[in-house]
Structure 1
Amino acid sequence: MVSPAQVVPDFVQLAAHPVRWRLLSELATGDYRVRELVELIGQPQNLLSYHLRLLRGGKLVSARRSSADARDTYYHLDLERCAQALTDAGAALHPALHPGPTPPPRHPGPAPTVLFTCTGNSARSPIAEALLRRHADHVEVTSAGSHPRPQLHPHAVQALNEGYGIDLTGQRPRSLATMTDRHFDYVISLCDKVREVCPDFGDHTRRIHWSIPDPAASKAAQKDAHRAFVHTAAEIDARVRHLLPVLTP
């Protein structure tokens, strides 16, 4: 009879399979469509779809329809849930393996440069810009849109002010066309549509995609627009915090 202490944690069972570990590793860098995962991992689509279904069942991976093409689905790794699952697995093995406080990141050398993009540069990308600047003042960060709106969405401004104490009063959306002559270490798209039209910033720029729906166009916004923006800001904040170790090795 297996004692409770001998039961293998669900996360370990899920992550131990080599194909699922590859999927987790690729999705840890950004959101991908299944055909892109097929190319990255070199396994047939039906096999990857099977393992993605298991990871979704374990609530480690979620799926969202692309706002650029509803026939496409983006897969996203929940890094917050993975971090908690790893913590729980360590503690299940031995209490001493429960992690202590995370040391502050070191950031020698020149400041990394980051560009966040979305379509209107009125909500998602300026939220990401402001939150990254709040968490890492050594990073040079900006944001822009392929079709910038006349002004920031008022609910985006309110969500950042109330939830994070960030004042975006006076900031105006920027055009992606004005950024093409600048160098960025990271270009992070938060919108499925802008990912398809984002210009090439050169071989030394790392492209990352976060498939985040437009809070102004979501079903949740029809019931409570402010709450939809608060939820989006919280998701972006979680992603930004997990981005920090990548920017500050």
Structure 2
Amino acid sequence: MVLPSRTAPAFLRLAGHPLRWQLLAALAQSDLRVRELVALVGQPQNLVSYHLRLLRDGGLVTATRSSFDGRDSYYHLDLDRCARALADSGAALHPALRGDTPPPGRLPHLSVLFVCTGNSARSPIAEALLRRQAAGQVQVTSAGSHPAPRLHRHTVRVLADHFGVDVAAQRPRHLDTLTGHRFDYVITLCDKAREVGPGASDRTRLLHWSVPDPATVSDSAAAGYRTFIRTAADIDTRIRYLLPVLAVTYPRKVQP
């Protein structure tokens, strides 16, 4: 008989602390600022910051400066790394415990709205990729608080080249055109759009993904396109982890 190491895997040591587990659980749903995490867990800011630093040192959490207010930072949980660490931790106990996350199966009929400022890059990419991954089972829309005249050319290209999705005929939509519509989920991908606060009913679940605007890259066209590829890959990963959440969401009742 070969016993595993007496030392628990690093992920379990990090995640096993009650406060760190609370922080991980909160960041698994949405990118958040320190003060928001402080309010959620009900602990002093210096203690929250200390445990966030441990999670960052462990490679589970990253921080990015808010593009709306450079004094703020949004914390983001690397779910891919968590998935690998969980699989490795399971395998350390028994090889059969390593495995990929199963697909969510049939999804309930839900409506999801993605929001960014211009509705020309991040939110239309998210709209297209969720529609693709959900195979039409979810009603998906995107809009912007200050929509651009047209989709960014790299948005059209990256979706066509890497995901086989044609959005060439799509045009940015203003949030005002959705007044009166109700959504089960509203997901902002832009820090500025989140501060604007898209209107939502009490039953709407509000999430935030702090995704830097790929259109701000001012280098060569090739560098700009590579940035869009990375952004689309990030959003695609986030959506892959969103699907299991949608699968266990009870859809709201439509009012007669």
Q: TM-score scaled to structure 2, two decimals?
A: 0.92
Per the TM alignment, residue 101 of structure 1 is displaced from its structure 2 partner at its CA by 6.3
Do the aligned partners of 2:117 and 2:144 also contact (CA within 8 Å) in 1? Answer: yes
- Equivalent in the alignment of 1:204: 203
Per the TM alignment, residue 134 of structure 1 is displaced from its structure 2 partner at its CA by 0.2
Do the aligned partners of 2:103 and 2:244 also contact (CA within 8 Å) in 1? Answer: no
Residues 23-56 of structure 1, C-alpha deviation per residue, up to 9 Å, x if partnerless?
A: 0000011100000000000000000000000000
Identity fraction in percent: 62
Do the aligned partners of 1:119 and 1:148 also contact (CA within 8 Å) in 2? Answer: yes
TM alignment of 1:40-189, pairs within 5 A: 40-99=40-99, 102-108=102-108, 111-136=109-134, 137-189=136-188
Do the aligned partners of 1:117 and 1:191 also contact (CA within 8 Å) in 2? Answer: yes
Per the TM alignment, residue 232 of structure 1 is displaced from its structure 2 partner at its CA by 0.2
Determine the C-alpha separation between the residues in 2 that align with 1:27 and 1:104. 21
- Equivalent in the alignment of 2:189: 190
Per the TM alignment, residue 169 of structure 1 is displaced from its structure 2 partner at its CA by 1.0
Is 1:15 paired with 2:15?
Answer: yes
Instruction: Report the residue type matching 1:123 in the other structure.
Output: A
Secondary structure of 1:5's aligned partner: coil
Per the TM alignment, residue 106 of structure 1 is displaced from its structure 2 partner at its CA by 3.0
Instruction: Report the residue type matching 1:119 in the other structure.
Output: T
| Unmatched tracts of structure 1, length 5 or more | none
Determine the C-alpha separation between the residues in 1 that align with 2:242 and 2:219. 27
Pair 1:208–1:146, CA change in 2 (3 A): same
Residues 68-108 of structure 1, C-alpha deviation per residue, up to 9 Å, x if partnerless?
A: 10011000001111011000000011112122661542335
Do the aligned partners of 1:27 and 1:75 also contact (CA within 8 Å) in 2? Answer: yes
Do the aligned partners of 1:183 and 1:201 also contact (CA within 8 Å) in 2? Answer: yes
* Stretch deviating more after TM superposition (197-206 or 180-189): 197-206
Instruction: Report the residue type matching 1:138 in the other structure.
Output: Q
Secondary structure of 1:32's aligned partner: coil
Determine the C-alpha separation between the residues in 1 that align with 2:59 and 2:219. 21
Residues 135-169 of structure 1, C-alpha deviation per residue, up to 9 Å, x if partnerless?
A: 00100000000000000000111111111111111
Do the aligned partners of 2:115 and 2:187 also contact (CA within 8 Å) in 1? Answer: yes
Determine the C-alpha separation between the residues in 1 that align with 2:27 and 2:99. 24
Per the TM alignment, residue 216 of structure 1 is displaced from its structure 2 partner at its CA by 1.1
Do the aligned partners of 1:215 and 1:221 also contact (CA within 8 Å) in 2? Answer: no
Do the aligned partners of 1:190 and 1:212 also contact (CA within 8 Å) in 2? Answer: yes
Do the aligned partners of 2:107 and 2:138 also contact (CA within 8 Å) in 1? Answer: no
Secondary structure of 2:131's aligned partner: helix
Determine the C-alpha separation between the residues in 2 that align with 1:218 and 1:193. 18
Determine the C-alpha separation between the residues in 2 that align with 1:212 and 1:14. 26
Per the TM alignment, residue 179 of structure 1 is displaced from its structure 2 partner at its CA by 1.1
Per the TM alignment, residue 59 of structure 1 is displaced from its structure 2 partner at its CA by 0.8
Instruction: Report the residue type matching 1:172 in the other structure.
Output: R
